């Protein structure tokens, strides 16, 4: 069965391309997040509390792994959309405006999580709230 390797999402009026992470990194992210969310039983309030209780270092690591799979689609002037990573190799935001847009960063993080390891959570009975999922489109 063919697995989708990219997905286009729109966040704050801008188009982003999500890409699949390699299986080992995806497994790490899935198990790490499941370990935090599993005790919540899929309840939104408990999931939020569990995520808020994550140590900052762990959260930063997971968010960076996820955001490294996200590219902003930028028009090259000829009508083509070219992918530009949202993070530099050092982990800084390429787009300074995004560095100060927490809502968009959270949405992109959740989109990347669902795209990369959402099937794992669904199989485990852990479904994130639909309002966080947005409206992705496939290309």
Which tokens is 64 given? 């960076």
- The whole-number pLDDT of residue 135 equals 47
Provide the residue count of the chain: 139
Return the closest-CA partner of residue 49 out of 38, 58, 41, 40: 40
Which residues, listed in sequence order, are joined to residue 9 by a DSSP beta bridge?
16
Residues 6+ apart with CB under 8 A from 90: none
Crossing angle of the two packed helices 23-37 and 102-123, in degrees rounded to 10: 90
Which tokens is 55 given? 């140590």
Which tokens is 15 given? 């188009």
Rounded to whole angstroms, the Cα distance separating 71 from 18 reads: 6
- The whole-number pLDDT of residue 132 equals 42
Which residues, listed in sequence order, are joined to residue 83 by a DSSP beta bridge?
73
Is 128 buried (19+), middle (13-18) or exposed (0-12) by CB count in 10 A? middle
For 2-51, the pLDDT digits (tens) are: 678 999 999 999 999 999 999 999 999 988 888 877 777 667 777 777 77
For 88-125, the pLDDT digits (tens) are: 999 999 999 999 999 999 999 999 999 998 877 665 55
For 59-92, the pLDDT digits (tens) are: 999 999 999 999 999 998 888 999 999 999 999 9
Q: Where are the domains of the chain?
A: 6-76+83-136
């Amino acid at each position: 069965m063919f697995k989708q390797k990219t997905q286009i999402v729109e966040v704050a009026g801008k188009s982003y391309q999500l890409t699949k992470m390699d299986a080992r990194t995806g497994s790490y992210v899935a198990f790490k997040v499941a370990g935090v969310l599993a005790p919540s039983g899929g309840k939104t309030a408990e999931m939020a509390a569990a995520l808020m209780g994550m140590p900052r270092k762990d959260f930063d690591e997971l968010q960076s792994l996820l955001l490294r799979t996200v590219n902003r689609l930028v028009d090259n002037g000829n009508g083509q959309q070219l992918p530009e990573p949202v993070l530099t190799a050092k982990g800084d935001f390429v787009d300074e405006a995004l560095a100060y847009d927490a809502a968009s960063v959270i949405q992109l993080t959740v989109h990347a999580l669902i795209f990369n390891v959402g099937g794992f959570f669904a199989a485990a009975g852990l479904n994130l709230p639909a309002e966080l999922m947005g409206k992705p489109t496939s290309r």
